[in-house]
Amino acid sequence: MTHELSLAAEFADQVVLLHKGKCLRVGTPAEVFNRELLEQVFEAPLDIAIGPEGRPRVHIRGVRYRPGAEVQFVIVVRFCNRCSI
């Protein structure tokens, strides 16, 4: 599991977007990383760009880290076979 969306998109074949204990979407990073959906989950504006390898990269605008803030989202990834992790 990770909260790093761009990292998940780079290395995962499939991702699961969970929010407040509910599964919102399952699929490839390109299918799951929909700007409108992620903006609702993050409650913040964001940008999604396609990286050089054709995978989405998520950039959140205006979100600042708050120590002790409750995490409201989780990305579950299934890593691809091409990874040497």
Place of tokens 């407040």: 20
CA dihedral defined by 64, 39, 7, 80, rounded to 10 degrees?
160
Cα gap 36→69, rounded to integer Å: 23
pLDDT of residue 69: 52
With a cut of 50, list the residues of the chain below it in pLDDT. 70-71, 78-79, 81-85
pLDDT, tens only, 58-69: 887 765 555 555
Distance of CA 37 to the CA centre of its chain: 11
pLDDT of residue 66: 54
pTM across the whole model = 0.66
Q: List the domain boundaries for the chain.
A: 5-79
For the chain, the 3-state helix, strand and coil shares in percent, each to the nearest 5, are 20, 40, 40
pLDDT of residue 25: 92
